[in-house]
């Protein structure tokens, strides 16, 4: 009941602010201040849903909606536009976290067919062991992760493979330098040995401000990652620190999805953890 009420209130807010959003979008385009949106998904499937699952029909509808209105770009192109001082076109990129086997049934083949760029972040140890993710085991809903062969095949077909740590660790709880290197650098090396290509990007598991640290940012930078991704929801404006890419959840609830993608003015004012500029001038 509470979720229904919140959804209805958000719908009212969205419709009430839509004229202002359209006006603001025109103004941002003329001034070159169009945000770059990075979307995050986990699992596309219709069976055994968990809170981070989106149905195949809803995922495809979201992608088709985006293709009609946004320029769909790779994560490195999104990063390039963030680092510039100007962006005049609605721009979006698509990422996945964790690495669920079901994504290879419909979503990934369809994205490849539609030539939609994707960065696919995986936890390397789940690939190696084949064990379900601990957060699914905790919910009594163990689900199969991708296999090493699936990741290699995706990479061969143009999917950009990224690291999501070795064990889906909470970096806010890591106080050992050795563990920090193992989760960040170890995952990079393991994945690079699997796909025989550079692994350029890292996504923080959980991805909230409390799950990231300045030390982890620094180790990732020194390890040669091109950028790191958070997951707390946020827009990337031209001129921001492009090393830190803020991502928005690809929410199955259509109103929440539209509210984010049409640029909610309240969320434009969010502060960025780890101040912009820390890494921008170091490339």
Q: Is residue 2 part of a domain?
A: no
In this predicted structure, what is the pLDDT of residue 20?
A: 92
Q: Is residue 147 part of a domain?
A: yes
**Domain extent for 83:** 35-255
In this predicted structure, what is the pLDDT of residue 48?
A: 79
pLDDT tier at 281 (50, 70, 90 boundaries)?
low
- What average pLDDT is seen over the chain? 93
Q: Is residue 278 part of a domain?
A: no
Structure tokens at 252: 């199955």
In this predicted structure, what is the pLDDT of residue 280?
A: 55
Q: Is residue 22 part of a domain?
A: no
For the segment 55-59, the average pLDDT, to the nearest whole number, is 97
Long-range CB contact pairs, 273-277, < 8 A, 24+:
273/209, 273/212, 273/230, 273/232, 274/212, 274/214, 274/217, 274/241, 274/244, 275/241, 276/240, 276/241, 276/244, 277/241
For the segment 48-54, the average pLDDT, to the nearest whole number, is 88
Task: Tell me how far apart the alpha carbons of residues 66 and 87 are, in angstroms, rounded to a whole number.
Answer: 17
Residue carrying the six token digits 């699952």: 53
Quick: pLDDT tens for 168-220: 999 999 999 999 999 999 999 999 999 999 999 999 999 999 999 999 999 99
Task: Tell me how far apart the alpha carbons of residues 281 and 97 are, in angstroms, rounded to a whole number.
Answer: 28
Enter the pTM of the model: 0.94
Quick: pLDDT tens for 261-273: 999 998 887 777 7
Structure tokens at 155: 């990479």
In this predicted structure, what is the pLDDT of residue 276?
A: 44
In this predicted structure, what is the pLDDT of residue 262?
A: 95
CATH number, domain with residue 147: 3.20.20.370
Q: Is residue 115 part of a domain?
A: yes
């Amino acid at each position: 009941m509470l979720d229904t009420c919140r959804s209805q209130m958000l719908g009212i807010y969205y419709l009430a602010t839509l004229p202002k959003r359209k006006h603001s979008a025109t103004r941002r385009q003329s001034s070159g201040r169009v945000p770059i949106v990075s979307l995050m998904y986990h699992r596309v499937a219709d069976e055994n849903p968990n809170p981070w699952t989106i149905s195949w029909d809803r995922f495809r509808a979201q992608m088709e909606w985006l293709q009609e209105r946004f320029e769909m770009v790779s994560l490195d192109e999104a990063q390039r536009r963030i680092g510039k001082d100007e962006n005049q076109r609605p721009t979006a990129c698509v990422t996945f976290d964790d690495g669920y086997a079901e994504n290879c049934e419909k979503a990934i083949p369809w994205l490849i067919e539609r030539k939609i760029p994707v960065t696919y972040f995986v936890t390397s140890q789940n690939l190696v062991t084949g064990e379900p993710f601990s957060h699914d085991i905790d919910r009594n809903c163990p689900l199969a992760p991708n296999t090493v062969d699936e990741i290699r095949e995706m990479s061969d077909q143009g999917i950009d493979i990224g690291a999501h740590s070795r064990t889906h660790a909470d970096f806010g709880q890591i106080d050992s330098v050795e563990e920090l290197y193992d989760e960040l650098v170890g995952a990079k090396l393991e994945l690079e040995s699997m796909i025989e290509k550079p692994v350029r990007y890292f996504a923080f598991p959980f991805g909230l401000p409390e799950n990231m640290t300045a030390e982890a940012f620094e180790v990732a930078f020194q390890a040669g990652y091109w950028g790191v991704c958070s997951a707390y929801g946020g827009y990337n404006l031209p001129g921001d620190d492009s090393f830190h890419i803020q991502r928005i959840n690809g929410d199955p609830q259509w109103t929440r999805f539209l509210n984010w993608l049409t640029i909610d003015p309240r969320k434009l004012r969010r502060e960025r953890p780890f101040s912009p500029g820390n890494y921008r001038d170091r490339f």
